[in-house]
């Protein structure tokens, strides 16, 4: 197990069965918790249950007992979790803050819940996430419209209240506040063009300046708004913008309760649409990324880069500097299933530079300033004349980040045995590889 031919080796997959949206991401007592939409009985979507995995480092995951199961209100659709440090809910035991999860009870998605609407429910753990109990008073928020779902909860310290972002219908979301996660008041409506499902809401310091904070309102397809938030009302100021330009990145969520000493905003998404024929599992997560908010020539933008913990998987490295890339001349092929690549390329006289990574094309058109990956493309301006790239390669996925991560691509693929290597070629003139570090990775399993 965990070494099947198409099993990703440093991206999370369920032991068996179907996986989609990450849910309830929370850090508590030295452990990262990741819940996820899960079908324990089949490799196809259905029987939505909250699967559960834990990790000490965001790299090595251990799947544990499923946390939330279908009941008379519906199957357990997506949601979020946070530590109730002030025990506002009254859950748990004295002196031990409970972890509280809010999720959608998806009525009508199982025979037991026939005729029930979509509502929002609570569950809690009094033992650090090991076991879970549903609130006897569920649902805590009744049906509003259509298949309203995917509650994202957070504690807003300045107003000493809980906030929930909820998807309603079409491109519409709403914000609610509560003193105890049980009684909710609707305070604000938000719309994100061409976006639906799985909201996230979080603050980010612009250019690492804690005096200049903007709030991010996120939708499932990676589109987001930047604005101001006072604990009740979100006021959009910029956007919608899009973080990822690839084909396989959806329903991303950030971790709650990361310690202040760490300070990172860490995000993971579902790499939707991958193919895993003949495998006991279906679908995979992206590799966790640390987010930042940067001033760019295009405006203020979110950026994403793989978390530093990936370095624990590095086995050996190939380091090169100042290598000429001539037209038609390939960089020596590097054959490996698992790679972490860092490169700085000066296009110089070349019209384009192109990678072939296990048969997948990454191309930078220096004349049009377009970076493309597996058929998807985005505009990328050079910084100081250099194209900076970070590439993660696993058995069935490729993740590409340029610059500070303001442009990214998440792509799934089926490996081709006829194209096992990694090559780089310049087109139309000479280019220079100013620096290259290729790190071979070991399996996280």
Catalytic residues: 21
Task: Name the DSSP class of 244.
Answer: B
Q: What is the 3-state secondary structure (H, E, C) of 25-72?
A: EEEECCEEEEEEEEECCCCCCCCCEEEEEEECCCCCCEEEEEEECCEC
Phi and psi dihedrals of 308, rounded to 5? -60, -20
Q: What is the DSSP letter of 412?
A: E
340 touches 392 (CB < 8 A)? yes
Contact 54, 64 (CB under 8 A): yes
Which residue in 427, 414, 431 sits closest to 5, CA to CA? Answer: 414
Q: Which token pair is 187?
A: 């305070």
Spatial strand order of the sheet with 161-169 comes to 149-156, 161-169, 172-178, 185-191
Q: In what order do the strands lie in the sheet with 62-68?
A: 62-68, 49-55, 31-39, 17-28, 281-282
- Name 417's bridge partners: none
CB neighbour class for 375 (10 Å; exposed up to 12, middle 13-18, buried from 19): exposed
- In total, the chain counts a number of residues equal to 445
CA-wise closest residue to 287 among 438, 440, 419, 409: 409
Phi then psi for 274, rounded to 5 degrees? -70, 160
Count of C-beta atoms within a 10 Å radius of residue 262: 11
How far from chain centre, in Å, is Cα 397?
Answer: 14
**In 3-state terms, what secondary structure has residue 326?**
coil
Q: Which of 265, 240, 263, 239 is nearest to 252 (CA)?
A: 265
| CA dist., res. 120 & res. 167, Å (int) | 11
Are 349 and 427 a contacting pair, CB within 8 Å? no
Unique residue bearing structure tokens 């930047």 = 226
């Amino acid at each position: 197990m965990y070494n099947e031919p198409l099993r990703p080796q440093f991206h999370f997959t369920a032991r068996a069965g179907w996986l989609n949206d990450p849910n309830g991401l929370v850090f508590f007592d030295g452990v990262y918790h990741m819940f996820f939409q899960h079908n324990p009985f089949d490799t196809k979507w259905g029987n939505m249950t909250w699967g559960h995995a834990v990790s000490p480092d965001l790299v090595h995951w251990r799947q544990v007992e499923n946390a939330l199961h279908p009941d008379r209100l519906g199957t357990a659709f997506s949601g979020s979790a946070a530590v109730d440090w002030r025990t506002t809910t009254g859950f748990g035991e004295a002196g031990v803050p409970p972890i509280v999860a809010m999720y959608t009870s998806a009525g009508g998605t199982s025979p037991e819940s026939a005729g029930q609407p979509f509502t929002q429910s609570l569950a809690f753990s009094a033992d650090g996430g090991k076991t879970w109990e549903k609130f006897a008073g569920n649902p805590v928020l009744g049906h509003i419209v259509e298949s309203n779902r995917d509650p994202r909860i957070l504690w807003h310290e300045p107003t000493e209240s809980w906030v929930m972002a909820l998807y309603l219908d079409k491109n519409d979301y709403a914000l609610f506040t509560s003193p105890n996660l049980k009684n909710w008041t609707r305070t604000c409506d938000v719309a994100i063009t061409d976006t639906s499902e799985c909201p996230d809401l979080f603050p980010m310091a612009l250019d690492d300046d804690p005096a200049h904070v903007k709030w991010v309102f996120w939708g499932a397809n990676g589109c987001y708004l930047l604005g101001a938030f006072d604990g009740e009302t979100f006021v959009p100021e910029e956007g919608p913008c899009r973080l990822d330009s690839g084909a396989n990145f959806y329903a991303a969520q950030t971790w709650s309760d990361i310690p202040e000493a760490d300070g990172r905003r860490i995000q993971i998404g579902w790499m939707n649409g991958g193919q895993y024929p003949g495998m006991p599992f279906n679908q995979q997560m992206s590799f966790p990324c640390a987010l930042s908010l940067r001033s760019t020539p295009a405006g203020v933008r979110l950026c994403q880069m793989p978390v530093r913990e990936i370095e624990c998987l590095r086995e050996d490295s190939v380091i090169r500097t100042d290598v000429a890339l001539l037209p038609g001349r390939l960089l020596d092929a590097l054959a490996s299933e698992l790679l972490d690549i860092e490169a700085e390329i000066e296009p110089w006289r070349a019209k384009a530079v192109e990678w072939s990574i296990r048969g997948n094309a990454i191309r930078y058109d220096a004349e049009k300033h377009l970076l493309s990956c597996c058929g998807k493309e985005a505009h990328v301006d050079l910084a100081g004349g250099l194209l900076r790239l970070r590439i993660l390669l696993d058995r069935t996925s490729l993740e590409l980040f340029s610059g500070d991560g303001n442009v990214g691509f998440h792509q799934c693929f089926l490996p081709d045995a006829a194209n096992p290597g990694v090559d780089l070629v310049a087109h139309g003139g000479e280019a220079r590889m100013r620096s290259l570090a290729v790190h071979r990775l070991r399996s996280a399993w």
